[in-house]
Structure 1
Amino acid sequence: MGISLPGLASNLDTTSLINAIMSQEKVPYKNFETKKTAVTNNKTIFNNINLKLKALRDAAINLSDVDSFKANGANISDSSKLTAIVDASTATGNYAIKIITLAKQQVNATNAIALNDSDGKKIKLSSDDLESEIRVEGINEPFILKNMGLTLDNTVEEALNKVANEINKNKDSNVQASVIQTADGAKSIVLMGKESGKSIAMSGTGLFSTLTTKVTAEPATIEINGVPITSSSNTIKDAIPGVTLQLLADKSSVNMEIKQDQDKIAEKVQAFVDAYNNVVSLIRENTKKITNEKNSDGSYKNFKTNLQGDSMLRDLQREMGDIISSITGPNDQYRLLDQIGIEIDKGITRGAEMTGKISFDKALFKQKLADNPSVVEEMFKGDRGLGTLFKDNLNNYTKANGLMQIKLDGYDREIKFIDSQMESLQTRLILREEALKKQYAQLEVNMSKLNSQKTWMTNQLAALTASAKSS
């Protein structure tokens, strides 16, 4: 770094002079900084628009999909007796369902086993107790107390808990064991089959000799439109193609209607409308005209690229609006989208108040869908339907090498160029400042020499003047 000697000889504030000169010299650099910020901001805006467009494209795909309007649901007369899950493509129809019996899991249990003696003390295992065992079908080895590490020091209660835990840990076990309190100071071990309708052989000796069947495994039995059906589970799948029934109460009858689920379809349309409005709002928000005022030093106060004139955004807005306006139906009741509840700037007549957003009348849409589902469906998923056109057109913008990515790549190149220009300019500014410091330092040196010569000459003249007077 050079050395500045501010005003020692010249009485000039050379530091301030250099700072003033460099302030002007740095104006182009500051403009590069603000321009880079603006370009980066615009890249962020386009990236956000791209993300919103992809969300709109996905919503359009959901409307144009072959099964988009096959969202069927079940209307059940009593959902406390029966519930149903319906696949989207399930055929519509009416069904009378009679639930005769629910499927039951087998339950075996022992009688109450005393845990305490007459004095209230915990009863410990006897030698005979250690030979006690439980056998369960499907498990090769019996559960014998003496083989579980239990001894005469263990209590009966500990033995019950131990055998229940060992049964539950066994990977081959098709029963679930538990210990329940049946009376004060007495418990029972309970074994429940894991599958409904499946019988399991179980037996016990010693402490478990009273293990007997309390609930017999039974299948579920129902009738659908008079046709008898048996199931090992209370969940019955595909007795009606595409429908999973969950039985909740036996000895009951319900009516079930499979029909188009208008709410689910309306949700897809609402998702599209929301995604469309998000894109429109983001574009309009970032295409307002901006006046770039300058500071006194020539730098911009708020330098931004004017997106108002961006041709891509103009084309995108126009294309989106044109698609909405181009959708037509086959007759006077289904001619335009606003007749089925979708309208741009509904009720707005003044241009200054228009937003370009879509309103969605869900009630009107559901009514039109119920009245003529095939026509409404065609207006969304046909070759010239709303979902189809948006899906195809937006793909040109959102695909990997689409228009939005080309735009973003252009911003990247511009930022890279600005960075290189700033780096080069910064180097020149550093050299310029060093040169100024050296020049002013040399000025001070030269001024110091001149001042010294001036002082010498003044002294010489003073001496000659004094000599002349004395002679």
Structure 2
Amino acid sequence: MATITSAGAGSGIDLESVISASVAAKKTQLQQPITTKKTNTQITLTGVGQLKSAISTFNTTLAKLSTAGAFNKRAINITQDSDDPILKISSNTDASNGQYNVTVNKLATTSKVEGTFASSTSSLITEDGTLTITAGDGNEFTVDVKKGDTLQQIRKRINNASDNFGLTANIVNTSDGKAKLVIDSGVTGAGNDLKISGSTTELKMFEADTSSATPVTGSSMSRTQQSTNAEIDVDGNILTSDTNTFKDKVQGLDITVLRVSDKDSDGNLKSNKVDITTDKSAIKTLVQEFVSAYNTLIDKSTELGKRNTIVGGESQDDGGALAGDSMPRSIRTLMANTVMEPNSEMTGINSIFQLGIKMDNDGKLSVDTDKFDDALDDNYEQVVALFSGENGVAGKLQTSLKEYTKTGGLISQRQDQLNSDLRDLSSREATAADQLEKYEANLRAQYGSLDTLLAQMQSSASYLSLLSTS
């Protein structure tokens, strides 16, 4: 039976409006509660996701602050010409305060050889061969030299070798029209002497051994520089390095030498004073970073958990995505309890609130910089211990909040439940749609029959009217 889509066409009565009103009422009854709940669940799911993101951002800051040595910041002052520095120094977590007199005696050098040839473009090679090039242990590569190669082609083969360890070959065209081949090993340090050997008699012209000042017999190459160590004097102690960086030779410091120290009027090398002190400014910046990140999470959780404002008995719908939800409140409580809990492993100063940290009525932190400066001056080790490490405030907060953000944690469980609810609501929504469709079809069938009956009655009445008047 065909579905009637224009009820009342036969009788002239507006049955379509009746059906539409009935379907709308049924839709409100069946679907509106599901739609409202689905919308609210989606809003909650979005809010939970925002809260998780905010906690993860805070945890990134906490991870940096809780690492060992995060607060071991050192200010390094070197007495030297800033426009032409002699050395630069960086510190690591093992550094401690102190003063040193540092003199740069020698820089580390690479080994170099050079040789003069009649031309860079004329063929030098009459048969194929190889050059084997080394510079100390572990630095070696082989270059294939082809018949007809010129000096320029040999240079390219050396520089472009896939296993070249950093050696460079260059050609200098001299004023007398000749070409000078200059090879730099690129490897510093005593014992890393450049050695070149050829596989044919003809390739003897490129052979070299910078461990000796005497050129190899039959070679055009001679030593111009031998590889050496860098050498510095630190408070009378001679230190050497095969590079121009002295890594941890003075514990906690990496010293990079840039040039040899200046000389005094007597021709002696002058020392440079190095002063290592606690970098209070850097530590204050870290603490302020912690406070700012803490307050940002407090603000976000407060915003998400804000309830709707009621004006004149009516909700203003200005609440957060998690209005009335316990999770934002639980997180704020956890954070406050963690920062307020005294460190049981410390005596004397055992709370960050003794360092000039304050908490207002909204649970947000601030720093009294004067009081914090005094704490740094008087109790540096306690300040560091209170903030950093696994048992510091940052570490404890990170551990606690990970219970929310970790895989399978409290937030993941909540998201799984909300997604399950959404799937159930979508299923119920589809069922309601089917019910509504059947309801409308049933109404149209009923009103279609009524319309047919009314049309027949109207037709009969019209016929009888005609009979009575004839």
Alignment of 1:15-26 (within 5 A): 15-26=16-27
State how far apart, in whole Å, the 1-side matches of 2:460 and 2:176 are: 122
State how far apart, in whole Å, the 2-side matches of 1:132 and 1:100 are: 46
Instruction: Find the residue that maps to 1:230 and give its secondary structure.
Output: strand
Aligned residue among 174, 194, 200 for 1:200: 194
Aligned residue among 333, 346, 350 for 1:318: 333
Q: Which AA in structure 1 matches 2:413?
A: I
The residue that corresponds to 1:5 in the other structure is 6
Alignment of 1:35-74 (within 5 A): 35-72=37-74, 74=76
Contact 2:188 2:229 in 1 (8 A): yes
User: How far is the alpha carbon of 1:336 from its aligned partner?
Assistant: 6.1
Q: Which AA in structure 1 matches 2:292?
A: D
1:280 aligns with 2:298: yes
**Any idea what the Cα deviations from partners look like across 1:174-193, whole Å, max 9, x if unmatched?**
73212234448554221001
Contact 2:205 2:221 in 1 (8 A): no
The residue that corresponds to 2:386 in the other structure is 379
User: How far is the alpha carbon of 1:150 from its aligned partner?
Assistant: 1.7
1:167 aligns with 2:168: no
1:270 aligns with 2:288: yes
**Any idea what the Cα deviations from partners look like across 1:30-79, whole Å, max 9, x if unmatched?**
34223312211211211221232233344345444443433446443337
Instruction: Find the residue that maps to 2:101 and give its secondary structure.
Output: strand
Compared with structure 1, are the counterparts of its residues 19 and 283 closer, same or farther at alpha carbon in structure 2 (3 Å cutoff)?
A: same
Which deviates more, 398-407 or 436-445? Answer: 398-407
Contact 1:327 1:386 in 2 (8 A): no
1:443 aligns with 2:432: no
State how far apart, in whole Å, the 2-side matches of 1:105 and 1:377 are: 43
Contact 1:280 1:357 in 2 (8 A): yes
State how far apart, in whole Å, the 2-side matches of 1:68 and 1:282 are: 26
Q: CA RMSD in A?
A: 3.8
Contact 1:97 1:254 in 2 (8 A): yes
The residue that corresponds to 1:213 in the other structure is 223
1:434 aligns with 2:434: no
The residue that corresponds to 1:410 in the other structure is 417
User: How far is the alpha carbon of 1:266 from its aligned partner?
Assistant: 3.7
Compared with structure 1, are the counterparts of its residues 137 and 342 closer, same or farther at alpha carbon in structure 2 (3 Å cutoff)?
A: same
Alignment of 1:109-148 (within 5 A): 109-111=114-116, 113-114=118-119, 124-125=122-123, 130=126, 138=134, 147-148=145-146
Q: Which AA in structure 2 matches 1:168?
A: N
State how far apart, in whole Å, the 2-side matches of 1:114 and 1:10 are: 112
User: How far is the alpha carbon of 1:106 from its aligned partner?
Assistant: 1.8
**Any idea what the Cα deviations from partners look like across 1:352-388, whole Å, max 9, x if unmatched?**
xx65433345676455323321221243258975224
Instruction: Find the residue that maps to 1:150 and give its secondary structure.
Output: coil
User: How far is the alpha carbon of 1:428 from its aligned partner?
Assistant: 0.7
Aligned residue among 355, 358, 361 for 1:340: 355
State how far apart, in whole Å, the 2-side matches of 1:383 and 1:130 are: 70
Structure with higher helix content: 1
State how far apart, in whole Å, the 1-side matches of 2:412 and 2:274 are: 51
State how far apart, in whole Å, the 2-side matches of 1:52 and 1:196 are: 49
Instruction: Find the residue that maps to 1:239 and give its secondary structure.
Output: strand
The residue that corresponds to 2:265 in the other structure is none
State how far apart, in whole Å, the 1-side matches of 2:50 and 2:353 are: 29
The residue that corresponds to 1:249 in the other structure is 259
State how far apart, in whole Å, the 2-side matches of 1:59 and 1:301 are: 36
How many positions carry a matched residue from both structures?
Answer: 429
Which deviates more, 395-404 or 421-430? Answer: 395-404
State how far apart, in whole Å, the 2-side matches of 1:292 and 1:33 are: 24
Q: Which AA in structure 2 matches 1:246?
A: T
User: How far is the alpha carbon of 1:110 from its aligned partner?
Assistant: 2.5
Q: Which AA in structure 2 matches 1:179?
A: I
Instruction: Find the residue that maps to 1:285 and give its secondary structure.
Output: helix
User: How far is the alpha carbon of 1:250 from its aligned partner?
Assistant: 0.8
Q: Which AA in structure 2 matches 1:148?
A: K
The residue that corresponds to 2:216 in the other structure is none
Contact 2:387 2:394 in 1 (8 A): yes
Contact 1:396 1:403 in 2 (8 A): yes
Contact 1:84 1:246 in 2 (8 A): yes
**Any idea what the Cα deviations from partners look like across 1:139-172, whole Å, max 9, x if unmatched?**
999979xx51427xxxxxxx12211122234437
State how far apart, in whole Å, the 2-side matches of 1:138 and 1:390 are: 54
Q: Which runs of 5+ in 2 are unaligned?
A: 198-202, 208-218, 263-270
The residue that corresponds to 2:109 in the other structure is 104
State how far apart, in whole Å, the 2-side matches of 1:232 and 1:305 are: 62
Q: Which AA in structure 2 matches 1:430?
A: E
Instruction: Find the residue that maps to 2:250 and give its secondary structure.
Output: coil
Compared with structure 1, are the counterparts of its residues 270 and 12 closer, same or farther at alpha carbon in structure 2 (3 Å cutoff)?
A: farther
The residue that corresponds to 1:120 in the other structure is none
Compared with structure 1, are the counterparts of its residues 424 and 330 closer, same or farther at alpha carbon in structure 2 (3 Å cutoff)?
A: same
The residue that corresponds to 2:308 in the other structure is 290
**Any idea what the Cα deviations from partners look like across 1:406-434, whole Å, max 9, x if unmatched?**
33233223223322221221111111111
Q: Which AA in structure 1 matches 2:187?
A: E
Q: Which AA in structure 2 matches 1:193?
A: S
Instruction: Find the residue that maps to 1:67 and give its secondary structure.
Output: coil
Q: Which runs of 5+ in 1 are unaligned?
A: 116-122, 152-158, 294-299, 346-353, 464-471
Q: Whose Rg is larger?
A: 1
- Using the size of structure 2 for normalisation, the TM-score is 0.77
The residue that corresponds to 2:99 in the other structure is 94
Contact 1:105 1:218 in 2 (8 A): yes
Q: Which AA in structure 1 matches 2:365?
A: I
Contact 1:133 1:142 in 2 (8 A): no
Contact 2:245 2:257 in 1 (8 A): yes
State how far apart, in whole Å, the 2-side matches of 1:330 and 1:182 are: 76
